[in-house]
Structure 1
Amino acid sequence: MKTKEEIWELRLYVAGNTVKSQTALANLKKYCEEHLKGKYIIEVIDLLVKPQLAEGDQILAVPTLVKKVPEPIRKIIGDLSNEEKVLVGLNIRPAII
């Protein structure tokens, strides 16, 4: 019997529909489709609309990506344009030493 694969829960915090926010979301979707196809959920939180949500994940800058599941919780700040840094940061790919 096949075990249920874990769904990656990713939360992207942005402040408005800026170029940086759009770039971060586009990059995130691209990486997820390449490496986590069918195994991820992306929740985008606009802190201009819901500023109170920043406190829960201790968001200090935007855009910030928070990986909630699988643990450990990880955060990556920026537009996510460095694919290697994002994949290592999310534990999708091991760091190359």
Structure 2
Amino acid sequence: MKQSVRFVFQLFVADHATNSVQALANLRAICKAHLPQMHEIEVVDVFAQPNRALSEKIFMTPTLLVLQPGPTRRLVGNLSETTTVLRTLGLESPE
């Protein structure tokens, strides 16, 4: 993968709910292992910013939006299925 590729994520969470905390930890671990120095993570708490969640049509948490590289993709859940996350990001070829 070219070093010029930058991954931009928005992770919509519900305060400190267990699944939200796990999703952030899993995303950070994936980025550390597979995208060092090549990612940006914005965490959006739907309780603190409900209008933002509604404008992005986020109705479940945690939800990860992959904004870059495009097209925008979404993953719902705690991101514990690393293989699925990597495939969605295009970092692992489908079997």
The TM-score normalised by the length of structure 2 is 0.92
What code does the residue aligned with 2:6 have? I
Corresponding residue of 2:24: 25
What code does the residue aligned with 1:39 have? M
The secondary structure found in structure 1 opposite 2:50 is coil
Q: Over the residues paired in the alignment, what is the CA RMSD in angstroms?
A: 1.4
How far residue 47 of structure 1 moved from its aligned partner, in angstroms, is: 0.4
The correspondence of residues 52-67 of structure 1 with structure 2, limited to 5 A, is 52-67=51-66
The secondary structure found in structure 2 opposite 1:52 is helix
Identity of aligned residues (%): 33
The TM-score normalised by the length of structure 1 is 0.90
Of structures 1 and 2, the larger Rg is shown by 1
1:2-53 Cα deviation digits (max 9, x unpaired):
x861211001000111111110000000001111100000000000000000
Q: Does the 8 Å CA contact 2:3/2:38 hold for their aligned counterparts?
A: no
Following the alignment from structure 1 to structure 2, what is the Cα–Cα distance between the partners of residues 35 and 4?
12
Provide structure 1 residue ranges, at least 5 long, that are not aligned to the other structure: none
